Amino acid sequence: MTGAVPQGYDFDGETQLTPAGAGVFEVEISDRWSGLASVNGGFLMATCLKALATGLPFPDPVTVSGLYLRPGNAGASVVRTEVIRAGRTTAFGEAHLLQAGKEVLRVTSAFADLSAAAPESGATPQYAGGTPPKLPAPEDCLRLSGISAISMAKRFEYRAPAMPGWMTGSPSGDPFAEFWMRFADGRPADALTLPFIVDAAPPAVLELGVSSTTIELTVHVRARPAPGWLACRTSTRFVSGGYHEEDFEAWDSTGVLVAQSRQLALVRPLGPLSLSPGASMPGRLPWAES
């Protein structure tokens, strides 16, 4: 089973589900997990996963995909869940998040028990063709704090060895970043919140001078994270035809890859004033120089 998360953390308190029929839940979406334009997509995905987890026999969403149909808003919402199939080792489910009767997000996911697939069993090979970001210790990094208009930026702590180029008004031209990340209130990351965390950092395309709106996000949760900071790496390799992909890796404090994600997103214009603290801009922009 997933380790129990102590009560009292913001994420848990603000994603409380009220049963409203078989597989249906009511949830009040908070305004405290938003970018400037709308509620963060990863937050909505994690809310759906929390609802799905109540009906599936395994605790860990090893893969989850979401289609972002409309911008999500704060306020009264409904999550409808379906158990597609519960097999011997893998269970599949689907969830719909609705606001004012309109579907905002559709999520499909496969759950399993990551503690059962123990790497030390020797039954399968281990292979790592990549390593965690090489970062100075978090206490030797700069703390990047939030634009006041982006409520989500206060709910995470981000640390990096240097200010990103886009934050200083000089996008680097290289859509790549490495940094530390954790919940600001000390909540440990877990399998159900990793799909939120991979979407809760600034898009790498800010280094190209543009912003981004997610169409689809797929997350693989590869292991349950150990407590502590997550070392994160975000990158975009291809911007073409108005679209870009973004990849995200999260590594736990013991050097284990715990999540891999990729999203397809629309490129959005970024006005010249948009990087200033408090400025209004579309899309995801969870952190910036304070």
Interface contacts to a second copy, rule CB under 8 A:
62-63, 65, 67, 69-70, 84-85, 87, 90, 92, 94, 103, 106, 108-110, 114, 117-119, 123-130, 175, 208-210, 215-216, 218, 220, 222-223, 235-245, 256-257, 260, 262, 264, 267
Residue 167: what residue type? M
Q: Based on CB atoms, which residue is closest to a second copy, 56 or 150?
A: 56
Provide, rounded to whole angstroms, the least separation between the CB of residue 110 and a second copy.
5
Provide, rounded to whole angstroms, the least separation between the CB of residue 237 and a second copy.
4
Q: Based on CB atoms, which residue is closest to a second copy, 95 or 144?
A: 95
Kindly list the distances between the CA atom of residue 178 and the CA atoms of 115, 141, 216, 229, 252, in Å, as whole numbers in the listed order.
28, 11, 22, 13, 14
Q: Is the dihedral of CA 47, 51, 52, 57 positive or negative?
A: positive
Provide, rounded to whole angstroms, the least separation between the CB of residue 267 and a second copy.
4
109 contacts: CB under 8 Å, gap ≥ 6: 49, 52, 61, 63, 64, 65, 92, 93, 94, 95
Task: Let me know: does 249 contact 183? Beta carbons within 8 Å.
Answer: no
Q: What angle do CA 58, 223, 64 make, to 5 degrees?
A: 60
Q: Taking phi first (over 0 means left), then psi (-120 to 50 degrees means alpha), and beta for anything else, what does residue 171 get? A: beta
Q: Based on CB atoms, which residue is closest to a second copy, 30 or 260?
A: 260
Q: Based on CB atoms, which residue is closest to a second copy, 93 or 146?
A: 93
Provide, rounded to whole angstroms, the least separation between the CB of residue 117 and a second copy.
4
Provide, rounded to whole angstroms, the least separation between the CB of residue 33 and a second copy.
23
Q: Based on CB atoms, which residue is closest to a second copy, 43 or 111?
A: 111
